[in-house]
Every structure is written in C-alpha cells, then in structure tokens.
Amino acid sequence: MNRVVNFLVFEMTIKRKDILYTLLNVHLFNMIEEKQSSSPDEFSIIYNSTPITISKYKFALYSSKFRSIPNFQLSNSINVTGNAPISVFNEFIKAAQGESININDDTIFDLLTLCEEWETPTITQIITQYLKERADYNQICEKYTQLQNDNILSNELTDFLASNLNAVINLPSFQNYPLNTVVRILSSTNLVVDVHLLYKYIMEMFSKYGSTASVLTPYLDIRKLTFEEAKNFLNCPNLIPSCVNETLVPISIQLIQENHELQQKAEKTDQTLKLIMDRLENLEKKQSDLIVAPTIDESEFTEKIESLMKIIDLGNKRIEDLQNQIADQQKLFKEQLNELEKRAHKDVRKTNKIVNGLTRKTVGYDALFNEIKFEQANLKKGLTDITKKSSRIFNEMMMIKARQRKMKTTNIDFDGRSFNGIMKYLSDEANQNCHLAGEVEITGSTSDHNEPYQIIDMGWNDLFFTENKANQWIMFNFKERNVKVSHYTIKTHKYPNNFPHLKMWAIEGSNDGENWDELDRRAITVLNGANRFQTFPCKKKDGIYRFIRLKQTGTNAKGDFVLALTNFELFGQIYTPEEE
C-alpha cells in the first residue's frame, strides 16, 4: 500500500506553545533572503559516496540536527553514512524539501529511523500516523527486533509499541523479545497496557527466564490486580522482593486507609446495634406495663400507644440503616422484627404465637426447598437426556431429509493430497474464497489476528489466532449444502515448537448450530512445530451435517488457550440440493 504525502514548508504544523521554533523558522527565512548573494542556498549531502543536491535552508527548517551543524550557513557539503538504501534516503530528502513522497510498508521503518536521526518532528508525525493506520503489529515487532539486532534505537517505534502494548503483548514475536528490550518499552511515557495482560505476561516470563524476569515487576500496578492474581504474583518463587518494594509503598498506604475506614464502619455498626438493643429492652418493658396494669385509663393508654409507635418507628429506621451496611442474611431478621413491633401493642401472647408459627413455617419451607432442589436436579438431568436424544433424532431426520431430497452428491475423498479437499473444491467452483463468495460462512469464537476464513486459502503463509480463552473454535456453515466428513487436515503456523500449536481438539458436526455430535477427538503433540501438517481420519464418518466445527478442548503446546493455525481442509462428500 502506497501513500503520497505532500510536505509544504509554509504549511508545517507547529504547536502554538512552540514559540521558539516558530521564531527560528522566521529567522531562517530572513536568512535565506539576506544570504542569497553571500551564501548560496545550494548544498550537497554526500550519502554513502552518492551526492544529493538540496536547498540547505529548506532542510534546516525541517531538521534541528542539520541546523546544529557548526557554520552550516557557510558550508556547501557534508558527508554522511547510513544503513538506509539510497532510494529511501532520497525520499526522505524530498520530504525535507517540501516535496511529495511515497510511503509504503517497505520504506516506512527506514524513513522513521532517518526522521529520528535528523530530528525532523514534522515528517515523523506524518510517518507515525501512517504506521498507526496500517497497524500490522507482527511486521512492526519483527522490524523492531531487526533494529535492536543492528544496535539501532528507535524511540518513535518504542513509543508506538508502548502505546499499543495490548495488541502486541501476546504476539509470538513480542514474547521472544529479550528482557532489556521489554523494559525499554515498558519505560516509555506513552505506555498503555491492561494490567491483567501484563500480569500474565510477567508470570510467563518468570517461567521462561526465572528470577531474571523480576526487572519487569516495577511496571506492574499490583493495586489493580485481582486478589488471586496479587497472591500468585507475590508468592511466585522467582520474584525478587526488592524489585517490588517501591510499588508496595502506595499499596500499603491504600490498605492502611481502607483498614481505618473499615474500623470506623465497624464502630458505627456496633453503636447502631447497641441503640437497637436498648430500644428493644424499652419495648419489652412497655409491653409488660400494658399487661400488668389493666386499670389504666383510656387517655393514658392512648399516650402509651403513641409513645410506643414512635419507638417502633425509630427502631424501624435504625434497622433499615443497619441493613445497608451488613450482609443480606439479616433480611429475615428485619421482617420478623417488624412483624413483632407492629403487633406488640395489641397482645404479647399473639406475638409469641406468630414467632412460633414463623419458626414452624421456616422448618417446613426448608424441607420443601430441599425437596424442590432434589426434584430440580432430577429434572435437569432428564432435560439433558431429552436434549441429547432430540439432537440425535434431529440429526437423523436431517439425514433422512437429505436422502429424500433431490441432492447432487460430490465425492471429495482423501487421495494423499492434504489440501485438495472440500474447501478447495467449493472455492474453485466460485473462482474465489468460498466464504467471500457466500457459499460457506466461516466464523470463529473470537479473533485476535486476521480472519478465520483465511485458513482455507491453501497458499496463505500467515496465521489466524483467537483470544486466550478456553474452548475456542472455528465453525463452517455450509448453508444449503450438507457434508459428510471422513478426513480433515490441519497445518500449523510458522512459529517454532512450544508456541501456540494445537495439542487437544475435537471435530464436531451439527444441523442446528446448538447440539453437536463428536466426529473425532485428539490429544497429541504431532503438530507442535513450525509449518507442520497432517491429515487425520474421523472416528465417526456416517453423519450428514450442515455445520462442522474445529474446537480446542484444552491447552495448546504453549500452555495457554489461544487457537492458532494457518490452514484447515475437509474431505468426504458434499450434498448439494438440485433445482426442481
């Protein structure tokens, strides 16, 4: 992909706060006018023995390094050497002269290196923007490795990787970075990373490098980890405690503050409970007064009722405030207490009766609940059995229906050619990838790199992989067609053994996309390596299905749950409905 970018000297984007830089540009323009006769503008940069003629004042506008050359106004040439090809250096010079240039994937990294070397922020901004829009993270990581091997430090590329670390941290090329390179990226002020992803990465580095990986720990904010993550991290035998001392200081302060707040809440709760108990004692005393003083007059009785109601209202409010702070298990206590308080002024004996009745009902409800739980478990088991039987009946009906319809049967048997199967046949028929042609819909449970339909392009040498989650899958929906699968081929990606290669998987078939029959299951390490492929026979070969699914049933060769591969093919029979 090429992009033509036009650099105009008078349209340079300059931040308002950069007043000195603006004044410098004005000063340089004035110099061009004043020095036209005494100091010619024409200048030669001799790059790797090849002379290139430029306008030195235009170049000075873009390059602060060029401006810093002593007496550059009076000189007319300079010798420089570099690793970038002469064609790329020419493009860079054109950009620094305000001319249009071509940016593509082959030249972008060399251009970015030249921008850093010559300190040209305006051109750097354009190059970085192109890089963000393209965002081929695999290529960027590999190029960064190459620059590191050549002892070329690219601050712009470092900042770019740091600001996009969530997208690159699980890539195999990033996982192979030496620790000092990762530290350099993590030290960037542009760092943006999910703390849980960084935790998983550091734990993997502990397994790979041992205690040496402790140099990564200062960049992990332990406060944002889950309890389990923090416990596993701090208990890791490879962790050097001194490396996390600084990060534990704010955590300790936070824990002290939270502990203080918790103590205050506990004291407040104790005070509220004591007040409620005092109110309950007063309530019991007033109830006794009502029973032992039957000769009390009506007005006095009314006053005591009103006083009692105020006490009850206050008790209700305290109970409600308390319930906002304590656990849900006190909900039953509140309901019973409210019931007692509402009836207390009428008859104490009735209150006792209610309490006893509630107790008996609770025992009855417990027994009924246990009985319902037992029946529910039996019902769930029965529903599971019914679902399995329904799925089997449905699949058998689809097989019968397929046999009854006028169907064209196409045999695509495995003949030793591992990639000449059903997917290639349908793609050849459509003159393009059969997913893009709408003949087959290919989807994945998740997608972290590339698209799942690309795995049926047999000349493809990149890879598709999912997110790091359990039970990842790739599904093939044959729509109006049905297939009977006898064999299948899996080809691994270009990365070496102990990277995410399939180790445990199942091939499944379905006619509704919900209920699945297992056609084959494997738990082997034969695919643990770069660009390996093998064709496997299915153990169950008689089913006719609309949906076929490749499902990862455990961890891969690396030990995580990423489903990654380059190619996949099926063999067997295709059933295509004929037009009536």
Phi, psi of 508 (to 5 degrees): -130, 155
pLDDT digits (tens, 9 = 90+) for 64-119: 888 887 766 677 888 888 888 888 888 888 888 888 877 776 777 777 788 877 78
Q: Is the pLDDT of residue 460 over 60?
A: yes
> 407-577, superfamily in CATH?
Galactose-binding domain-like (2.60.120.260)
- The span from the CA of 238 to the CA of 233, in Å, is 10
pLDDT at 494: 92
User: Cα 96–66–87 angle (5° rounding)?
Assistant: 45
pLDDT at 24: 46
Write out the two tokens for 458: 């047999």
Share of the chain above pLDDT 90, in %: 30
Contact 279/318 with Cβ under 8 angstroms? yes
Q: Can you list the positions of beta strands (E) in 27-87?
A: 42-47, 50-55, 77-80
Higher pLDDT, 59 or 410: 410
Q: Do β-strands 42-47 and 77-80 pair in parallel, antiparallel, or remain unpaired? A: parallel
Left, alpha or beta for 296 (phi > 0: left; psi -120 to 50: alpha)? beta
Least confident of 242-246, 281-285, 481-485: 242-246
Picking from 534, 552, 566, 570, the residue whose alpha carbon sits closest to that of residue 449 is: 566
**Average per-residue pLDDT in the chain?**
77
Phi, psi of 44 (to 5 degrees): -115, 125
- The span from the CA of 399 to the CA of 168, in Å, is 46
Q: Is the pLDDT of residue 9 over 80?
A: no
Q: State the distance between the two ends of the chain, measured CA to CA, in whole angstroms.
A: 47
> What average pLDDT score do residues 386-398 get?
60
- The span from the CA of 565 to the CA of 530, in Å, is 10
The CATH topology of domain 3-134 is Potassium Channel Kv1.1; Chain A (3.30.710)
Q: Which of 25-34, 156-165, 237-246, 542-551 has the highest mean pLDDT?
A: 542-551
Q: Is the pLDDT of residue 482 over 70?
A: yes
The answer, as to whether pTM is greater than 0.85, is: no
pLDDT at 294: 45
Picking from 308, 330, 307, the residue whose alpha carbon sits closest to that of residue 319 is: 330
pLDDT at 22: 39
Q: Which of 61-65, 133-137, 348-352 has the highest mean pLDDT?
A: 61-65
Neighbour count for residue 86 (Cβ, 10 Å):
13
> What average pLDDT score do residues 289-293 get?
47
Q: Is the pLDDT of residue 493 over 80?
A: yes
Phi, psi of 559 (to 5 degrees): 105, 5
> What average pLDDT score do residues 371-395 get?
59
Q: Do β-strands 473-477 and 441-444 pair in parallel, antiparallel, or remain unpaired? A: antiparallel
> What average pLDDT score do residues 566-571 get?
97
Query: Domain extents for the chain?
Result: 3-134, 250-346, 407-577
pLDDT digits (tens, 9 = 90+) for 109-168: 777 788 877 788 888 777 777 776 666 777 777 777 777 777 766 777 788 888 888 888
